[in-house]
């Protein structure tokens, strides 16, 4: 005859976790299924975190690139403005026979001078 412990209509569970008790065949699969679910959740969270981190790094790289491009454009604009100003000053201050020679010297000299910016 069958033992009454194994003939109940509802499977017994443990008190703490609600997991099937040792009387059930599901006991072996239960921890594995929980572990599998947790692993999947962790994988998804890690994917989301990695995507967010990569997005932030890309934004930072783009900001740095934009800063560098802007800095280079400003240097070129400043160089052109300074060159124009020096040419105007040299035209006003030099006698007519020396103007053309000095203007060319100033322009050539300025092309080879690096501009330095100080950040505040």
Q: Mind listing the pLDDT tens digit for each residue in 59-81?
A: 999 999 999 999 999 999 998 99
Please report how many Cα atoms fall inside a 13 Å half-sphere around the Cα of residue 18, on the Cβ side: 1
**Per-residue pLDDT at 27 exceeds 50:** yes
Region 91-115 average pLDDT: 57
Per-residue confidence (pLDDT) for residue 31, from 0 to 100:
77
Under the banding of pLDDT at 50, 70 and 90, the label for residue 42 is: very high
Contact 22, 13 (CB under 8 A): no
Rounded Cα distance, 2 and 8, in Å? 11
Contact 28, 19 (CB under 8 A): no
Rounded Cα distance, 6 and 13, in Å? 13
Tokens 């100080």, located at residue:
118
């Amino acid at each position: 005859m069958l033992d009454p412990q194994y003939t109940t209509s509802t499977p017994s569970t443990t008190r703490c976790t609600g997991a099937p008790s040792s009387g059930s065949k599901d006991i072996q699969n239960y921890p594995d299924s929980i572990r599998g679910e947790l692993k999947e959740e962790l994988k998804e969270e890690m994917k989301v975190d990695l995507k967010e981190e990569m997005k932030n790094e890309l934004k930072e790289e783009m900001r740095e690139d934009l800063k560098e491009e802007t800095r280079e454009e400003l240097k070129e604009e400043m160089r052109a403005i300074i060159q124009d100003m020096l040419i105007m000053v040299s035209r006003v201050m030099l006698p007519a026979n020396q103007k053309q020679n000095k203007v060319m010297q100033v322009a050539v000299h300025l092309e080879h001078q690096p501009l330095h910016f100080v950040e505040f």
